[in-house]
Amino acid sequence: MALPQPKQSTDHAEYHLEETGVRVRFGVGVLDETGHEIERLGCKRALILSTPQQSDTALSLAEKVGGLSAGLFTRATMHTPTQVSEEAVAHAASVDADCVVSIGGGSTIGLGKAIALRTDLPQIVIPTTYAGSEATPILGQTEDGVKTTLVDAKVLPEVILYDPTLVRTLPVAMTVTSALNAMAHSAEALYAQNRTDESTQMAKDGLLAFVQGLPNVLNDPADLAARQETLYGAWLCGTVLGRVGMALHHKLCHTLGGSLNLPHADTHAIILPHAMAFNERTAAKELAPIADMLGAQSAGQGLYAFAKQLNAPLALRDLGVTEANLDDVSELAVKNPYWNPQPVTQEDVRAMLQAA
């Protein structure tokens, strides 16, 4: 399988994915190249996006790019409410922005994608978590409390800059849940109906990058080599999320998160071992690489032990979920049928949620 080969430029690795036109750069200090990347797109006025919590990071980036900044919009919000997106689009027009630079996790990247969907402005994305949204043409948006997901080539960012110095500030607990969120994309990619040899290889490589890199990150959160290895995993896992279909795990997390407003990454971290144990009933062969790389009897057991070793949240109860919630969620989760390697009934979902 031919993975895109890195083009070395000094100490930074670069990829250009010919089939999508996405330019991907990795390396310590690649953040400093943002101005160059804005100019390379033929742009002069970048609107810089962040959450309120990361406004300092956005401000320091604006100072870095100097005259190429058209200002900041720092109100990115989880689940991409359309009202915030409309306000951001109006702001982009009022400052005559010709591109957006999203610096942050999935929430900020979602806002950049929502602007691109409505304006077709090019996007430079600088991820600070492992969620992987930067590598997909997928956008989830919320209107009147209802989250819907769309796929559109317009929302796929043009440039991704992975600088490990930025994830260094990600708190350890979020590092772990965000990494398990990324690993979930690759885990489901292993049995996806439309998987290819290439997607399977990328999924395995992405999982391995986290299995190898994450314990080192936890040992020393400022270890830039380990942070870079895990960011490479995030790119691989995000890329497969954008290429193949997801099943039970993602659908269940979507239902749980949407109906109970649970934190996205924590929900993925808790559900993953249970969803994999369930799907191993029919997809044990496809999931065997996970068991192998974790040195476990099964993928479900291996992922549970890995999450426990990393002090990840292990129980839905810890997110405030009650027994009564489980009945409602299991009913909702089977309302719109979807493909899964192992057929899923409401009783199955209820039992899985009880175990979680």
Q: Which residues are near ligand NAD by CB under 6 A?
A: 51, 53-54, 78-79, 104-108, 110, 128-129, 131-133, 136, 138-140, 166-167, 169-170, 178, 241, 264-265
If the CB atoms of residues 98 and 235 are measured against ligand NAD, the closer one turns out to be 235
d(CA 131, CA 322): 27
Smallest separation (angstroms) from ligand NAD to the CB of 127: 8
Based on CB atoms, which residue is closest to ligand NAD, 159 or 291?
Answer: 159
Task: Give 258 or 280: the residue with its C-beta nearer to ligand NAD.
Answer: 258
Coil/strand/helix, residue 166: helix
Q: Which is nearer to ligand NAD, 77 or 119 (CB)?
A: 77
Q: How far is the CB of 157 from ligand NAD (least distance, A)?
A: 11
Question: What does DSSP assign to residue 10?
Answer: T
The least distance separating ligand NAD from the CB of residue 345, rounded to whole angstroms, comes to 26
Pairing of strands 12-17, 7-9: antiparallel
Place of tokens 């077709």: 120
- Tokens 């144990």 map to which residue? 277
Q: What is the DSSP letter of 321?
A: -
What Rg value do the Cα atoms of the chain yield, rounded? 20
Closer residue to ligand NAD in complex, CB, 158/280? 158
Q: State the minimum distance, in angstroms, from the CB of residue 53 to ligand NAD.
A: 4
Shortest spacing between CB 242 and ligand NAD, in angstroms:
7
**To the nearest 5 percent, what fractions of the chain are helix, strand and coil?**
60, 15, 30
The encoded tokens of residue 287 equal 């999931």
**Can you read off the two tokens belonging to residue 215?**
């314990």
Question: Which residue sits closest to ligand NAD, CB atoms considered?
Answer: 106
